[in-house]
Amino acid sequence: MMKSHLWEPFRLGKMEDITPCIVYHGCRDDLRSDKVVGIRCSVNAAPGREAESVLMPADKSRNVIIVGGGPVGIEAARVAAMRGRRVTLYEKEFRPGGQMVQAAIPPHKDRIAPLVNYLETQQLKKPGGKVVMNVEATADTINKAKPDVVILATGVRPFVLEMPGVTGANVVQAGDVLEGKVKTGDRVIVIGGELVGCETAEFLADQGKKVIVMRRGPEMAVNVGPSNRSFLLNRLLEKGVTLLPGIKYREITPAGLSITTAEGEPKTIAADTIVLAAGAVPENKLYETLAGDTTEIHCIGDCVKPRTIRDAITEGFRIGPADFGTEAMELSSAWEKRRTENDI
């Protein structure tokens, strides 16, 4: 089934148009699930939806501004430009990729790097698109450009727990640790036991740090797919990482973290650094400033709800084929219905 599709870029000499697999194993998880019909790809929204994924030339050219150069923004820009839209993408950082840049840093995640390179060096150069890097788009920027449509893909910001001591000098964000923006001491507590927390813990354990991962829920990494979860948790244990689920946070102090254990015992765990990996919340400040504007606005990706790379690529692709207005809303509704039915 896939052979002809894989051969076409080879035949045409367009190797750069082959989307690299990131070995996320979401497709394998689909095959193991009785809640999913068909199979889905983390980096290509079309497989299993070929009939509804045909890209047709747009009926009329429209000026589209996209804010945010993560996977959802890049995919929306790529598809819209392919259809003949005039697209300008703004990214506030010096490089595109969004959270994928951090996602490619932990151990066993280097396979994501080729996707970042593919989106940055190949897809952002497609005809019909303009990319403005290192500029944070504002309401004034957008209004001066007089776009027909604005697509906001502004991502997330870290969720910060309400806890005494959380603003202390010994408290840092997981993303900053991964990117090397901050250093940790030798004894580290990671607050948050989902994917980011566990991967950051492994990253630090490989540097010889003594790491404890804590979370309030009863189990670790419950949102990690079954194809990856057991391998991740086993690696953490093999590398000496301590996992403490079911605890209650009390206070961060210069000496460490005070908690109540799952057994109800008050305890203070000594640590040099507290790393926050407690999740993320949508970054939608720009939308709030634009709300009520007469320009047509669509929000996509994590600025609607934090999700996965697969959700980002799919949502960017689905907004690209739309002629916006009512069609964009209808298309979004149809895909959302399928997403809900498939329990993504």
% of the chain beyond a pLDDT of 90: 69
Indicate whether 64 pLDDT > 80.
yes
For residue 340, pLDDT beyond 70: no
Give yes or no for a contact between 196 and 226, defined as CB atoms under 8 angstroms apart: no
Question: Which region among 14-23, 62-71, 259-268 has the lowest average model confidence (pLDDT)?
Answer: 14-23
Residue 189 reports pLDDT greater than 90: yes
The per-residue pLDDT for 17 is 77
| Domains in the chain with CATH codes | 20-157+281-341 (3.40.50.720), 160-278 (3.50.50.60)
| Stretch among 13-17, 40-44, 73-77 having the lowest mean pLDDT | 13-17
Could you give the CA distance from residue 120 to residue 71 in angstroms, rounded to a whole number? 10
SS3 144: helix
User: Residue 323's pLDDT is what?
Assistant: 59
With a CB cutoff of 8 Å and minimum separation 6, the contacts of 132 are 88, 89, 90, 91
Chain mean pLDDT for the chain: 88
* Distance between first and last Cα of the chain: 24
pLDDT category, 252, cuts 50, 70, 90? very high
Q: Residue 13 above 90 pLDDT?
A: no
User: H-type helices in 98-173, by residue range?
Assistant: 99-103, 113-117, 139-145
Residue 180 φ/ψ, nearest 5 degrees: 75, 20
Nearest-angstrom CA–CA distance, 290 and 159: 23
pLDDT of residue 334: 41
CA distance 117 to 132: 17
Q: pLDDT grade, residue 327 (50/70/90)?
A: very low
Task: Give the pLDDT of residue 336.
Answer: 42
The answer, as to whether pTM is greater than 0.85, is yes
Q: What percent of the chain has pLDDT over 70?
A: 89
Q: Which pLDDT does position 329 carry in this prediction?
A: 42
DSSP 8-state symbol, 43: S
Copy the structure tokens of residue 219: 């189990």
pLDDT exceeds cutoff 60 at 53: yes
Residue with tokens 């990117």: 179
Residue 155 in this model has a pLDDT that exceeds 60: yes
Going by C-beta distance under 8 Å and a sequence separation of 6 or more, which residues neighbour residue 259? 214, 244, 247, 248, 249, 250, 266, 267, 268, 269
Distance CA 195, CA 201 (A): 10
Q: How far apart are CA 156 and CA 282, in angstroms?
A: 4
pLDDT of residue 167: 96
pLDDT at residue number 60 = 80
Using the predicted structure, report yes or no on whether residue 335 has a pLDDT greater than 60.
no
Confidence of residue 50 (pLDDT cuts 50, 70, 90): confident
Q: What's the average model confidence in pLDDT over 23-40?
A: 85
Higher per-residue pLDDT: 116 or 251? 251
Residue 151 one-letter amino acid = I
More confident residue, 310 or 334: 310
289-299: average pLDDT: 86
Query: Has residue 12 got a pLDDT over 90?
Result: no
pLDDT at 292 over 80: no
Q: What is the per-residue pLDDT across 98-128, written as a single tens digit (0 to 9) for each?
A: 999 999 999 999 999 999 888 877 777 767 7
Pairing of strands 63-67, 86-91: parallel
Handedness of CA 5, 61, 125, 179 (dihedral sign): negative
Report yes or no: 315 and 302 within 8 Å, Cβ to Cβ.
no
Q: Is 320 helix (H, G, I), strand (E, B) or coil?
A: coil
257-282 per-position pLDDT tens digit? 999 999 999 999 999 999 999 999 99
How large is the C-alpha radius of gyration of the chain? 22
Instruction: State residue 82's pLDDT score.
Output: 86
User: If we measure between CA atoms, which residue out of 54, 37, 92 comes closest to residue 70?
Assistant: 92
When pLDDT is cut at 50, 70 and 90, the band that residue 39 belongs to is: confident
